[in-house]
Chains A and B, each alone.
Chain A
Amino acid sequence: MSFASSVSRFDSIRRLNSLQPGDRGTIVRVTTDDLARADRLAALGVTPGASVRLLQRFPGFVFECDQTELAVEPAVARTILVELR
């Protein structure tokens, strides 16, 4: 039982760039291999706990983070891990 629920939790964590427009979730982690980038995202409110909704994939990723609308390139969207709701 606990095994099953942990698997489903694991399944529902996705990178932002693999979401479809309309998908909602909560940020669980922002990868920090590039610290300056993570800092910039954090300053804009992209930190664990923030709720996100993907609005558009092409020509660039546009998403809503809490009440802020942000546009990022795919490489940046990859670093944002989201638990789907």
Chain B
Amino acid sequence: MALVGNPNVGKSVIFGRLTGRYALVSNYPGTTVALTQGRALVGNEVCDVIDTPGVNAVEGVLSEDEQITRAIITSDRADVVVQVADARNIRRALMLTWQVARCGKPMVLVLNMTDEARSRGIDVDARRLHSELGVPVVETVATEGRGLTELRRALGRARVVSVPADTDAASWGHSYAERVRRAKPRASPRVQEAIGRAVRHPLTGLPILAVVLYLLYLFVGVFGAQTLVGLVEKGVFGRFVNPAATSLATRFIPIAFVRDLLVGEYGVITMGLTYAIGIVLPVVTTFFLMFGWLEDSGYIPRLAIFCDRIFRMMGLNGKAVLPMVLGLGCDTMATMTTRILGSRKERLIAILLLALGIPCSAQLATILGILGGISFAALLTLFAVVVAQMFLVGFLAARVLPGDRSDFIMELPPIRLPLMRNLLRKTLMRVRWYLGEAVPLFLIGTLLLFLLDRTGLLRVLVAAAQPVVTGLLGLPAATAQVFVMGFLRRDYGAAGLYQMAHAGALTSVQAVVALTVMTLFVPCVANFLMIVKEQGVRVGLTMLAFITVVALSTGVALNHVLRFFGISF
């Protein structure tokens, strides 16, 4: 049995109620679209349940989510299709019913959120709908578990809906909705509406955004990056994992090369795994939690309204705010989520801007740590330069690259308090993604660093970078090594700069220049590999070269301007 429905109709909640807690989240083969599968007890039978992504159509021009949903409901994995409808939006749901019905599977229609619909003055005549469509129609309030028993009973009575060939989804859905819906809409001033209005209105929305960003910083930057990292990296890895691995390796591995590969200075365990699990995992987990909360509460889609105008000048639309905000947690993951954007051109621009200007949580922590100690003006200079550079590059890319951007049409889900259960499931899914997809890339990065070091290429690279770093950027020679290593392992670059700043090896101007270059540069080798995976080697290398040139030339210009005007923060 498959659950289908428009986005935000409570499908996942119904799924959770039907299957209990044992659910398996997996990607549809060859895609990143997540499917949740579980088992439900129906009468005396155990029945497989698939939760499909929320869709608005299963016919016509389809998104990736929609194609997969269609593939599932037309395949023999689904004997029965249960469509979940938001009772408040019955007209829209019926348009989808028309399309689902044409797939020819027996259906059950669930009218969810009937309580909210009634409180809004909307009454859907379930009995009439049942007699007109000929399928079971079940009313539920899934969040409270009401109607689930009736739904289980109704599954056996599922029927195929026959739709006349001479109709279309819109007119069919409209005429049925008109017949079964009694609406006397009340525009009651409700809390949700007030919050919705406050966050989308510029006067109140911008201060709210500032508060949200500050909370994000407190939760991810302080709690995640400091408290949790301290516990996991220094505690778990520093005290237990690494000493154990080292002593095991010294005892059982006689070949020095292999031993160093695993537990040496650039070892896959002592460096790669410690980094991926000890430092990045706590940061991305706290970030995913907060991001998921903002997403489920309906806040992030509303943020898109603010960004639409500016993003349109850069060849994107407001929808791109999702990957951009996600990039503040991890650019590598954000690069992957650019798939939600409508056109190839938009995906390319978004990936470029993520790699160029959006600092990931590790970079942000470094920037705030070093520049916060110097002055607010230093911090402001860095962000102004980075934002201006992003805008300039986006503006030019929008004009140079072929193709079109897609229209900004976005559904704003109702403002609601996120359900802990769904939030945890979502976060778990993302963390699992991180462990499966990003951690291997970090390990490859460490391996690369190990090989570069062993072959002496690391020294050659550092030597080659030195003239640019000391001459044009006006930075101490040691920064060259920090830059090269920083690309392979972000926190090494960060920690290196941090030490230099604290030892007094960097003047305030040098700190601003070095951090600006680091922020503009491609965040890390994992991000680069993800770009290659998404867009191919040619695009990946072109972006890397382009971004390197932009980052260095911006640094050079900034260095000279600051010095020329004698600015010292």
- Our pick among B60, B170, B308, B407 for the contact of A59 (Cβ within 8 Å) is B308
- Our pick among B178, B201, B318, B409 for the contact of A70 (Cβ within 8 Å) is B409
Distance in angstroms between the alpha carbons of A50 and B173 in the assembled complex: 11
With A42-B169, A66-B89, A67-B120 known as contacts, the answer to whether A47 contacts B408 (CB < 8 A) is: no
Distance in angstroms between the alpha carbons of A37 and B197 in the assembled complex: 26
User: Does A68 sit within 8 A of B, measured CB to CB?
Assistant: yes
With A56-B200, A76-B408 known as contacts, the answer to whether A62 contacts B305 (CB < 8 A) is: yes
Contact A44 B61 (CB under 8 A): no
Q: A48-79, CB under 8 A of B: which get 1 and which 0?
A: 11110001101110100011111111011000
For A45, what are the chain B residues with a Cβ–Cβ distance below 8 Å?
Answer: 89, 91-92, 95
With A42-B169, A62-B305 known as contacts, the answer to whether A72 contacts B409 (CB < 8 A) is: yes
Contact B308 A69 (CB under 8 A): no
CB distance from A64 to the nearest CB of B (A): 9
User: Does A43 sit within 8 A of B, measured CB to CB?
Assistant: yes
Distance in angstroms between the alpha carbons of A55 and B95 in the assembled complex: 25
Contact B57 A43 (CB under 8 A): yes
Contact B411 A69 (CB under 8 A): yes
User: Does A13 sit within 8 A of B, measured CB to CB?
Assistant: no
CB distance from A58 to the nearest CB of B (A): 7
CB distance from A40 to the nearest CB of B (A): 6
Q: B372-408, CB under 8 A of A: which get 1 and which 0?
A: 0000000000000000000000000000000000011
User: Does B433 sit within 8 A of A, measured CB to CB?
Assistant: no
With A45-B95, A58-B202, A66-B89 known as contacts, the answer to whether A71 contacts B407 (CB < 8 A) is: no
CB distance from B321 to the nearest CB of A (A): 11
Q: Nearest CB to that of B304 among chain A residues?
A: A71
CB distance from A10 to the nearest CB of B (A): 23
CB distance from B206 to the nearest CB of A (A): 10
User: Does A19 sit within 8 A of B, measured CB to CB?
Assistant: no
User: Does A39 sit within 8 A of B, measured CB to CB?
Assistant: yes
For A70, what are the chain B residues with a Cβ–Cβ distance below 8 Å?
Answer: 409-412
With A39-B60, A59-B305, A60-B308 known as contacts, the answer to whether A50 contacts B408 (CB < 8 A) is: no
Contact A72 B407 (CB under 8 A): yes
User: Does B246 sit within 8 A of A, measured CB to CB?
Assistant: no
Contact B411 A39 (CB under 8 A): no
With A37-B407, A56-B201, A71-B408 known as contacts, the answer to whether A43 contacts B95 (CB < 8 A) is: yes
- Our pick among B92, B409, B414 for the contact of A69 (Cβ within 8 Å) is B414
Contact A59 B89 (CB under 8 A): no
Distance in angstroms between the alpha carbons of A60 and B414 in the assembled complex: 18
Contact B306 A59 (CB under 8 A): yes
Contact A41 B89 (CB under 8 A): no
With A42-B170, A72-B407, A76-B407 known as contacts, the answer to whether A60 contacts B95 (CB < 8 A) is: no
User: Does A36 sit within 8 A of B, measured CB to CB?
Assistant: yes
Distance in angstroms between the alpha carbons of A39 and B413 in the assembled complex: 20
Interface secondary structure of A, over-half rule: mixed
User: Does B309 sit within 8 A of A, measured CB to CB?
Assistant: yes
Interface-centre pick from A43, A66, A75 (highest chain B CB count, 10 A): A43
For B304, what are the chain A residues with a Cβ–Cβ distance below 8 Å?
Answer: 71
Distance in angstroms between the alpha carbons of A57 and B133 in the assembled complex: 40
Contact A60 B92 (CB under 8 A): no
- Our pick among A37, A40, A49, A71 for the contact of B412 (Cβ within 8 Å) is A71
With A43-B95, A44-B92, A67-B88 known as contacts, the answer to whether A59 contacts B309 (CB < 8 A) is: yes
Chain A: interface size category: 20 to 34
Contact B91 A39 (CB under 8 A): no
Interface-centre pick from B178, B202, B410 (highest chain A CB count, 10 A): B410
Distance in angstroms between the alpha carbons of A52 and B409 in the assembled complex: 15
Interface-centre pick from A41, A42, A55, A69 (highest chain B CB count, 10 A): A69
Contact B61 A39 (CB under 8 A): yes
For B226, what are the chain A residues with a Cβ–Cβ distance below 8 Å?
Answer: none
CB distance from B412 to the nearest CB of A (A): 4
With A60-B308, A60-B318, A73-B317 known as contacts, the answer to whether A40 contacts B409 (CB < 8 A) is: yes
For B309, what are the chain A residues with a Cβ–Cβ distance below 8 Å?
Answer: 59-60
User: Does B19 sit within 8 A of A, measured CB to CB?
Assistant: no
CB distance from A48 to the nearest CB of B (A): 8
Distance in angstroms between the alpha carbons of A11 and B304 in the assembled complex: 33
Distance in angstroms between the alpha carbons of A50 and B197 in the assembled complex: 22
Considering only residues 536-567 of chain B, those with a C-beta below 8 Å from chain A are none
Contact A66 B409 (CB under 8 A): no
Considering only residues 153-186 of chain B, those with a C-beta below 8 Å from chain A are 169-170, 174, 178, 185
User: Does B196 sit within 8 A of A, measured CB to CB?
Assistant: yes
Distance in angstroms between the alpha carbons of A70 and B392 in the assembled complex: 30
Q: Nearest CB to that of B408 among chain A residues?
A: A73
Interface-centre pick from A39, A49, A76 (highest chain B CB count, 10 A): A49
Contact B409 A76 (CB under 8 A): yes
- Our pick among B60, B169, B170, B318 for the contact of A71 (Cβ within 8 Å) is B318
Contact A59 B202 (CB under 8 A): yes
CB distance from B527 to the nearest CB of A (A): 30
For B202, what are the chain A residues with a Cβ–Cβ distance below 8 Å?
Answer: 58-59
For B57, what are the chain A residues with a Cβ–Cβ distance below 8 Å?
Answer: 39, 43
User: Does B67 sit within 8 A of A, measured CB to CB?
Assistant: no
- Our pick among B120, B302, B306, B312 for the contact of A73 (Cβ within 8 Å) is B312
Considering only residues 312-341 of chain B, those with a C-beta below 8 Å from chain A are 312, 317-318
Complex A-B, nearest 6 residue pairs according to Cβ-Cβ distance, in ascending order: A43-B56, A45-B92, A67-B88, A69-B412, A73-B408, A47-B170
- Offer 21 A-B interface pairs, CB within 8 angstroms, sorted by A: A37-B407, A40-B409, A43-B95, A44-B411, A49-B91, A49-B178, A50-B174, A55-B200, A59-B202, A59-B306, A59-B309, A60-B308, A66-B89, A67-B122, A68-B89, A68-B92, A71-B318, A71-B409, A71-B410, A72-B410, A73-B308
